[in-house]
Structure formats: C-alpha cells, structure tokens
Structure 1
Amino acid sequence: MSGQPFLPASPAALKGVRVIEMGQLIAGPFAGKTLGEFGAEVIKIEAPGSGDPLRNWRLMKDGTSVWWQVQSRNKRSLALDLRSTEGQDIARRLIAEADVLVENFRPGTLEGWGMSYEQLSALNPRLIMLRISGYGQTGPYRDLPGFGSIGEAMGGLRHLTGEPGRVPVRCGISIGDTLAALHGVIGVLTALYHRDANGGKGQVIDVALHEAVFNVMESLIPEYSTFGAVREAAGSALPGIAPSNAYRCADGYVLIAGNGDSIFKRLMAAIGRDDLADDPALANNAGRVARVDELDRAIEVWSAQRPTEEVLATLVEARVPAGKIYNARDIAEDPHYRARDMILRQATRDGYEVEVPGIVPKLMGTPGTVRSSAPKLGDDTDDILREMGIPDATIAALREKGAIA
C-alpha cells in the first residue's frame, strides 16, 4: 500500500524464474527490475569496488543515488570480477542454473570472456539470453558504442522533438534505454512461454536501442514510402491530427485533445465557438487539419483568459480529454496516483524511507510487488556463493584475490 514500506506479499507470476543480470546503468537493469517486480529472483553481478555506475548518478542520499533505490529493488548484489578467471567460472556456474541472462555490454564482450551463447547454452540448454546493445549483435554498426540518446537519434525520435527550425531536444529522460528494456522484457516473457511449451530450449533475444525506438515511430516510414513525406518537428502539436496541442492559460499550459469528431463539437461548444462546431468543413479530421492554425488560435484565445483549473473544469464538464502538464510535485501530490499505488514509500538499506514509482502493469491476480530494497554493493555475495556450495575458506580466498567483494 502507498503508506507502507513494501507492497504486501501476493502470488508472483514469475516465481521460480532465476535471472542473472550482468548489465549496468539503464537498459539491462531496467529489464531486470521489471522481471524482479513480478517475482523473478534477480542476481545482479557488479564489479568489485565500483559497482554499477548508476549508484552514483544524479542526486545522492547518504552516498548513493536515490535512482538506485528504484532501479535495483528486488535484486541481490553479487560483487564479482568478470574479468578474472575465478569470476568467470562462478558466473558460468550461476548461469548453468538460471533461466535468463540479461546483459547490455558491447557485442563481443561476453565472447571475449568465454561466455558466448553457444558456450553457455551447452551448459544450460534452457537458457534465455537477453542482449541489449546500441546497434544489435549483427550488422555493420554492431561494434560501435551506443547509448540511449544515440538510439533515440538513429531511431527517428530526436528529429521530431522540439520546435520547428530549432535544435532537436531530448525528452528529458533516457527513453531509448527504457524502450529497449521493455522490448527486452517482452522478448523474455515470450521466450519463457515458448521454452516451457515447446520442449524446453532457450534462445537469444537481440534488442538494439535504435530499433526499440524505431518500433514506436508509428507511420514515419509508411508515409515516406508512400508519399515521400519526411515528418518534421512540430513542437507540442500532433501533426496530421487536429486539434491536439498545448494551449496557454492565464497561469500555465494545458494539453487538449479535441481531435475526435464528436469531441471536437463539444470542445467548440465549451469555448463558445458554435460556428466552428457546426461548420460542415470541420466535421472530420481532414477538414480540421487543413485549418489547424485557425482552430489552435480559437482555442487559445479562450484558454489564455482563464486559469488552468477553470479551463480543466470546463473541459471535464464537456467530456473533452485535457490535462495539466505535471511536474514532480504535481505527481507526488495527486490523489489519483496515490489511490492506484503509483507512489510507494520504500525503505532503504541506508535507514531512511523514500517515495518511489509504483509498479506497472497492474495484474489483478499476480500483481507486482516490492519485496526487498536495493542492495549495497556485494550485500549478497557470501550468501549466494554459499548457496552454490562454495566453502567459506574458498570464499575468503576469492576475496583475497579480488575476484569477489
């Protein structure tokens, strides 16, 4: 519940699924986070000494990023040097008993450590391997370094963000990484189903950052293929669909989506423009697109004279989709977020509590849960190695060599 440190225990959809996470920063770990929220056991392998760089990104509390508290909940931390022979041997033993391996290294990295899919699947034919990289495991760009922002550019998204004629801007978060992670999770779930329904054999899931972005680019390529049309940046508008834009109010902006035929008529009536509501030339989207500037001006003449809350109240009454542009404070104070457990109070291992995003999607029978807080580096190293049957004396020797921490 929203007032508790953790969501209550419930049947877990992915109970019994073991995930080894070798990724760092955003794409791979977000996939591991999502699988963990639905019950998978996630063992996160981190480099001794430094750990995942995300631990130190953005705003820090007690020496650790608060972002880390979200990205790594429900995970166990194994501090293991994958560049050492001993570390690689331990990783292979773990992977031999795992269902899923998640990695987002540059292609060829695992192969260089003797952990190609062919080698790992020989140990564990049921293994499903999620590989997230900038450009995929094949193709002429496979060896180039790639981050989410580059994927957003190559995938076509960055060209469309911003105001016409101005420098393209990012959307403010690492959306390319997150889209890749979500596509990876879809792949994992699909592969798990196929494996368990068709003879028990695993497979590789190859996700490229730019392809995950490109997959959500709607009609971008069909329009170019059919009409030679290159879609351009349009600011806050939705090109080809009208009216749908951000409109100035007396104290801010609201987004208004009046682009359905009946919705448009209700919107025009609500702003006192029955002449536009009854204009037969505006009865469908094609006619409205042809006069989009006129419609946007008419709406903003009305909205600019009124405070945001009055505009929204009027449009709610008229059953027109509209919304305030939320910032962090708006989200944190919104009762709807609270009512749907989308703001959770989560305990940390540093002794404080922090509010964090809830879990999506919401499964009614097997909802996602927060079972444990994000680990400190190597918190679970000894326990994991003991579970593998490695004696304490060997663990001490591995620590002395620097293979674990």
Structure 2
Amino acid sequence: MDETSLNAPAALAGVRVIEMGQLIAGPFCGKTLGDFGADVVKIEATGTGDPLRNWRLLKEGTSVWWQVQSRNKRSVALDLRQAEAQEIARRLIAEADVLIENFRPGTLEGWGMAPEQLHALNPGLIILRISGYGQTGPYRDLPGFGVIGEAMGGLRHLTAEPGRVPVRVGVSIGDTLAALHGAIGVLLALYHRKAHGGAGQVIDVALHEAVFNCMESLIPEYSAFGAVREAGGSALPGIAPSNAYPCQDGWVLVAGNGDSIFKRLMAAIGRQDLGDAPDLAHNAGRVARVAEIDAAIQAWTAQQQVDDVVRQLAQARVPAGKVYTARDIAEDPHYKARDMLLTQHTRDGYDLLVPGIVPKLSATPGRVRSSAPGLGDDTDAVLAGMGLTAGQITQLRERGIVQ
C-alpha cells in the first residue's frame, strides 16, 4: 500500500452504520463496510453481548473469530427489552445512513422500529434486513440459519460424493453470501440515494436466495432438459478435466478444461495420444471420456509429491494447486505479499494474525483502524455524542438500560 493511498480518505468515510445483528450474516456485512471506512456502531444486548464473542476457540476469554468479525466497530450495550433503551436506539438510527439487522422478521416491529416508523424519523435511512427466508412469503416466520439456507438454496445437495451424505462446505458460506449480497445492496442504495433525491429504502436479503443466486445453471438445466444436477464430489460435472487427484503426500487440484490447456496438460503428463485425439479437442468429447482422462492424470500424480506436480504444471501453464491448510496459508509468501495476513493488536493485549481486506482498491483501500471492542466499550462515548451528560449515563447504567 503506497503512501498516497494510506493518506487518502476511506471509500465510505462519513457513512454512519448502526449494526443490530448478531453472529454472522449481519455482522459480516458490518465488518465489510467498516473495513472501508464506515463508522459502525454495534448495538449489543447487555449481559453477554453478541454470542459470537464465545464461539469456537477462545483466547483471554474471547473468541478469536470475534477479533476479526468486529474490528473497525464501536460497541454500545443496550437492553432493548426496555422502552428507554429502544428510544436510545431510535435516536442513534435517526442520525444514521444505514441500519443492519438479521433478526427473525417482526423483531424490529416488536420494538417499535418498523421500517415505516424509522423512515418517518430518518427518510434517507437504508435498512438492510437479512433473515432465513426473507420478510415476505409463507416461510417468513420460520427460524432459519445459514446451514438451512445452503440446503434450500440447492448447495447442500451438491456438496457430497455421489450417493453419500451431503456435507458442509466447512465455513458458514450461506451467512457470508447473504452478508456480501447485503453489502452490495447497501452500496447500491447509497448510490441511488445520492444520485436520485435522498430517499432511503429497505433491502430484503434471504439466506437461501443469496445461496441460490450463486447456483449457476442449476435451474436453467432443469427447465430446458429436466436435468437435476447431482453431487459430483471433487469434480466439476459437465466440464473436463477438473478434479482433485491423489499424490504421494496429499491431493492436488487440476483444472485442465480449456481446449489449449488440455493439450498442454496431456503433454506434461506424457499422454500426447490423448492430447492429439480429435474427439478430445473440445469439452463435449472430453466429458464423454472423463473417467479415462481422470485415470490418466491420477496415474501421473500418484507417483509424485504435491509440490512437484504443482511446479511442473505451472511450467506447462496449467492451473493447479495444493489443498491449503491454515498452516499453509499462514506461511505462504503470496498471501504475505498481498497484505492478506495482517497482525492485529487486540484490546486483550496480544497480537493476532488475521485475514486482510478484500477487495483491494488502489486509491481508497480498506484498513484496520481499530481492534474489536469489549462489550459496551463505547457506550459512554456514543451516548455523550448524543448529548447525554455523565450523570444521565450513570443513571441509565444503574437501571440496567445500558452497559
């Protein structure tokens, strides 16, 4: 990152975001906006706060996942079951550009914060609502987490070896996809508000729809041919060759499915006969003989180490790569060269290696401006910014309205 971009205003500088979500989808969207300069004020429940603080592995009593998900945010702890806390939230939202929430539909309405009520206070407010099934439709009131969205969106049916149990992708991909769709929606709404008169709007993101939007030709194939795509294991069904192949010390992924790439791949593995076969010159012919092609590639990879395979195929200009573990990522020079591994000093007093920021903007890059807050770390400062005195804040704290 050069000196000019370091000193440039952040892309979202001046955008005020109130985040009322918890766990993954809403907060991941808030993190994304915060990484690019938005002032994100996270409203958490008094007591334990966002459950993500205690998810997976804890260090110094706090999840290391929390340290990533909540960087560049300020924490205000409110007991939203109380009317005075709801009024504080409304006052914060009245001055905001964006509200993010990922509660079950009807929760905001129960607090007297229906979109029409909030727009009466703040006509320019952009409200992002992420939920399992969306704000409308027959399933709107059903509980829904990311895993259910992945199943309904069609992804889980494909993530398996043929005939075996559908498996997780390994991360909360449904929540993350919903968060990214939400961030896109927020940016579109901010642009529309600026370009077309200042009106806010509601963005309705359903977890299953965010997954479904990434399912490529799944439905067109069913519509045109009645074809129901089935699990393909590590292969890319209908596109060949593209698969995972065993080596002596692990697995390697090889994508040799371009016409010219296929020829180079066959030359590299010593199967010029397949590279020169007229019926394998294009994808349709290769799909018809995919088992034979996969067997030929596997026979070559099985005799070698992963690194040797990757090196040889790189020389042949064939896309290939090993399956990275966390250790591989942490030690990889390319990740480091592109600032994708950042050292973040936590408020608990230790340094933590965390993922860098994506996407990379040349003029207004994102950056980590502050580490993840403790519960209610910023309550006093935010309330003072609203005009409350120290005495008023103390009274609210004594009555359990804020923390």
> What is the TM-score normalised by the length of structure 1?
0.98
Alignment of 1:213-228 (within 5 A): 213-228=211-226
Alignment of 1:15-34 (within 5 A): 15-34=13-32
Could you say which residue in structure 2 is the equivalent of 1:367?
365
Secondary structure of the residue that 1:12 maps to in structure 2? coil
Query: How far apart, CA to CA, are the structure 2 residues paired with 1:160 and 1:192?
Result: 36
Alignment of 1:279-358 (within 5 A): 279-358=277-356
Deviations 1:266-294 (A, max 9, x none): 00000000100000000000000000000
Query: How far apart, CA to CA, are the structure 1 residues paired with 2:226 and 2:348?
Result: 56
Query: How far apart, CA to CA, are the structure 2 residues paired with 1:66 and 1:10?
Result: 30
Could you say which residue in structure 2 is the equivalent of 1:142?
140
Query: How far apart, CA to CA, are the structure 2 residues paired with 1:188 and 1:41?
Result: 14
Deviation of 1:11 (Å): 2.1
Could you say which residue in structure 2 is the equivalent of 1:129?
127
Query: How far apart, CA to CA, are the structure 1 residues paired with 2:171 and 2:88?
Result: 35
Deviations 1:116-152 (A, max 9, x none): 0000000000000000000000000000000000000
Query: How far apart, CA to CA, are the structure 2 residues paired with 1:191 and 1:66?
Result: 32
Could you say which residue in structure 2 is the equivalent of 1:69?
67
Could you say which residue in structure 2 is the equivalent of 1:174?
172
Deviations 1:140-172 (A, max 9, x none): 000000000000000000000010000000011
Could you say which residue in structure 2 is the equivalent of 1:262?
260
Secondary structure of the residue that 2:260 maps to in structure 1? helix
Deviations 1:333-362 (A, max 9, x none): 000000000000000000000000000000
1:229 aligns with 2:227: yes
Could you say which residue in structure 1 is the equivalent of 2:58?
60
Alignment of 1:170-249 (within 5 A): 170-249=168-247
Q: Which runs of 5+ in 1 are unaligned?
A: 2-6
Query: How far apart, CA to CA, are the structure 1 residues paired with 2:47 and 2:32?
Result: 26
Secondary structure of the residue that 1:44 maps to in structure 2? strand
Deviations 1:302-346 (A, max 9, x none): 110011111111101100000010000000000000000000000
Could you say which residue in structure 2 is the equivalent of 1:101?
99
Could you say which residue in structure 2 is the equivalent of 1:403?
401
Could you say which residue in structure 2 is the equivalent of 1:4?
none
Deviation of 1:8 (Å): 5.2
Paired residue type of 2:54: N
Answer with 315-324 or 387-396: which moved more.
387-396
1:9–1:34 CA distance, 2 compared to 1 (3 A) = farther
Could you say which residue in structure 2 is the equivalent of 1:44?
42
Query: How far apart, CA to CA, are the structure 2 residues paired with 1:28 and 1:252?
Result: 37
Give percent identity, aligned residues only: 78
Asked whether the 8 Å contact 1:9–1:369 carries over to 2, the reply is no
Query: How far apart, CA to CA, are the structure 1 residues paired with 2:6 and 2:375?
Result: 26
1:9–1:174 CA distance, 2 compared to 1 (3 A) = farther
Secondary structure of the residue that 2:104 maps to in structure 1? coil
User: What is the total number of aligned residue pairs between the two structures?
Assistant: 400
Deviation of 1:9 (Å): 5.4
Paired residue type of 2:168: R
Secondary structure of the residue that 2:157 maps to in structure 1? helix
Deviations 1:196-244 (A, max 9, x none): 1101000000000000000000000000000000000010000000000
Query: How far apart, CA to CA, are the structure 2 residues paired with 1:47 and 1:183?
Result: 26
Paired residue type of 1:53: P
Answer with 391-400 or 254-263: which moved more.
391-400
Query: How far apart, CA to CA, are the structure 2 residues paired with 1:331 and 1:239?
Result: 28
Query: How far apart, CA to CA, are the structure 1 residues paired with 2:354 and 2:286?
Result: 41
1:77–1:42 CA distance, 2 compared to 1 (3 A) = same
Paired residue type of 1:334: D
Deviation of 1:394 (Å): 1.2
Deviation of 1:63 (Å): 0.2
RMSD (Å) for aligned C-alpha atoms: 0.9
Could you say which residue in structure 1 is the equivalent of 2:392?
394
Paired residue type of 1:366: T
Asked whether the 8 Å contact 1:11–1:367 carries over to 2, the reply is no
Deviation of 1:87 (Å): 0.5
Deviation of 1:401 (Å): 1.1
Paired residue type of 1:182: L
Deviation of 1:69 (Å): 0.4
Paired residue type of 1:293: A
Deviation of 1:396 (Å): 1.0
Secondary structure of the residue that 2:252 maps to in structure 1? strand
Deviation of 1:82 (Å): 1.2
Paired residue type of 1:60: L
Deviation of 1:10 (Å): 3.9
Asked whether the 8 Å contact 1:9–1:371 carries over to 2, the reply is no
- Which runs of at least 4 in structure 1 moved beyond 3 Å after TM superposition? 7-10
Secondary structure of the residue that 2:28 maps to in structure 1? helix
